Amino acid sequence: MDLDKIFNPKSVAVIGVSENPNKIGSVIFRTLTKLFKGESYQVNKNHDFLYGKVCYPSITDLVKETKHKPELVVIAVPVNEALKVLEESGKLGIKNCIMVTAGFKEIGNNSAENKLQQIIKKRKINMIGPNCLGVLNTSNNLDTLFLPPERLQRPKKGNISFISQSGAVGSAVVDLAASQNLGFSKFVSYGNAANIDESDLLEFLEKDDDTHVICMYLEGVHNGERFFEVAKRVAKKKPVIAIKGGLSDGGKKATLSHTGSLAGNASVYEGIFKQTGILEAHSLEEVFDYAKIFSFIKNNTHGRNVQIITNGGGYGILAADAVEQYGLSLTQLETKSVTALQKKFPSLVTVSNPLDLVGDANNERYEIAIETCLEDKNVDMLLVIILSQTPLIDLDIVPIIERLSKSTKKPIISVTTGGAYSHELKEMLESVGIPCYDFPHNAVNAMKELVDFAKK
């Protein structure tokens, strides 16, 4: 299945634009005309002109008048009309569709679902949906998310792609990611998956050069055998992080009325994830934490020996506990590193792991510590905790860490906790490519995934 025109169409027609600017079709069209790097058209029976552009009474009229077949049609009209438009588009030879409309099998409307399937088959259509938000592609600004930007911030261009069966999960996470400055390549909410399903999307992202990390929110898998085969192949090349909704009995029941999915057994999914190499997240926060580390850290040929550097003793201890809990290893520095550091540091600094630079640590002490640890052959990864409550640390530490991180292939992961100043530090660290977590626990949990992925 070729999904290229779903994500990279040269032209898009939106069906369901109305004079009410807040209607779904209108929001989609208005967003598209603003930023999409292609042609956009609208269909409306009652108006000749809306939102600064010509309207066409039907998709047939559009094709006739413009002498152009849009490469993608986005349908946001009620079920019965949606089916008619899909048939009409198919007849015109338009092969790619995003069906936003809801009211199919998720509410038990099997006759509509059957008709939908018949049209898709007969007209050989590639369709996302129904019952979905559709697609966001940051490289061409194709954006069918019918949620206004003042409510759902669009993320900057980046290397994370997110496949979500649930529109709400997808949009909330994208909004949060945007506010935290994480970069996305593609986001797709695919709803009932009547045609294009998670396996097709995975396969598409496998070949998408802009996508380095794939996140998935799944409720059900539509073709288990194919999913297994595709996932196994893709998860070898790119980290695939998945969270499964409906692992409990209560959750399972709810997936049926949500996306019409049969949620299946929790242990079956766990098995599939393990065997295919998909990295399973157990909460949305984990999806976030994992996506972040893979988005920042490109090099994945590293071992599990972690050196912790901190200016807060308690933080170092909690990080050490997490390293052990998550099955990573607290490394022991080479003797020459220990000697070198002891010479340079005051006696209150115990050169060990964690390496506690103590409360009066300044930027320079960090520089010495990081540089020496990066050169140590016993160190595979650095966890650098920087608590900015003490005034001897300041934002000038960021270019220091940036320089050191560029001189090494060893991943550097950072942690900082606190209020305004700490947030500024975090943003600056991430702007120079150092992933930064709020707590040691989240950082180490993500580092463990990095190692697990590299092992494959």
The reply on whether position 130 binds a copy of itself by CB under 8 A is no
State which residue, 120 or 279, has the beta carbon closest to a copy of itself: 279
Long-range contacts of 436-439 (CB under 8 A, 24+ apart): 437/289, 437/292, 437/413, 439/415
Residues numbered 134-153 forming contacts with a copy of itself, rule: CB under 8 A: 147-148, 150-153
Contacts for 347-354: CB closer than 8 Å, 24+ residues apart: 353/307, 353/308, 353/320, 354/308, 354/309, 354/310, 354/313, 354/316, 354/317, 354/319, 354/320, 354/330
Residue 218 or 240 with smaller CB distance to a copy of itself: 218
Q: Is 57 in the site for a copy of itself (CB under 8 A)?
A: no
Residue 248 binding a copy of itself, by CB under 8 A: yes
396 near a copy of itself (CB under 8 A): no
By CB under 8 A, tell whether 50 contacts a copy of itself: no
- Least distance to a copy of itself from the beta carbon of 171, Å? 5
Residue ranges in 371-390 that form contacts with a copy of itself under rule CB under 8 A = 387-390
Comparing C-alpha atoms, which of 397, 446, 453, 383 is closest to residue 425? 397
Residues 346-375 interacting with a copy of itself (rule: CB under 8 A): 347-348, 350, 352-354, 356, 359
16 binds a copy of itself (CB under 8 A): no
Q: CB of 287: closest distance to a copy of itself in angstroms?
A: 10
Q: Encoding tokens for residue 118?
A: 């018949």
Site for a copy of itself in 170-199 (CB under 8 A): 170-173, 175-176, 178-179
Give min distance, CB of 436 to a copy of itself, in A. Answer: 14
Give the nearest distance from C-beta 388 to a copy of itself in angstroms.
Answer: 6
Shortest Å, Cβ 40 to a copy of itself: 21
Q: Which of 253, 298, 336, 455 binds a copy of itself (CB under 8 A)?
A: 253
Q: Which is nearer to a copy of itself, 93 or 108 (CB)?
A: 108
Which range, of 7-15, 88-96, 169-177, 369-377, touches a copy of itself by CB under 8 A? 169-177
Among 144, 211, 255, 337, binds a copy of itself (CB under 8 A): 255
Q: Which stretch binds a copy of itself (CB under 8 A): 34-42, 282-290, 376-384, 446-454?
A: 282-290
285 binds a copy of itself (CB under 8 A): yes
Q: Does 169 bind a copy of itself (CB under 8 A)?
A: yes
Residue 320 found at the interface with a copy of itself (CB under 8 A): yes
Q: Which stretch binds a copy of itself (CB under 8 A): 43-51, 122-130, 204-212, 417-425?
A: 417-425
Interface with a copy of itself, residue 93, by CB under 8 A = no
Is 245 an interacting residue with respect to a copy of itself (CB under 8 A)? yes
- Interface residue with a copy of itself among 277, 316, 411, 435 (CB under 8 A) is 316
Q: Give the number of residues in contact with a copy of itself, rule: CB under 8 A.
A: 85
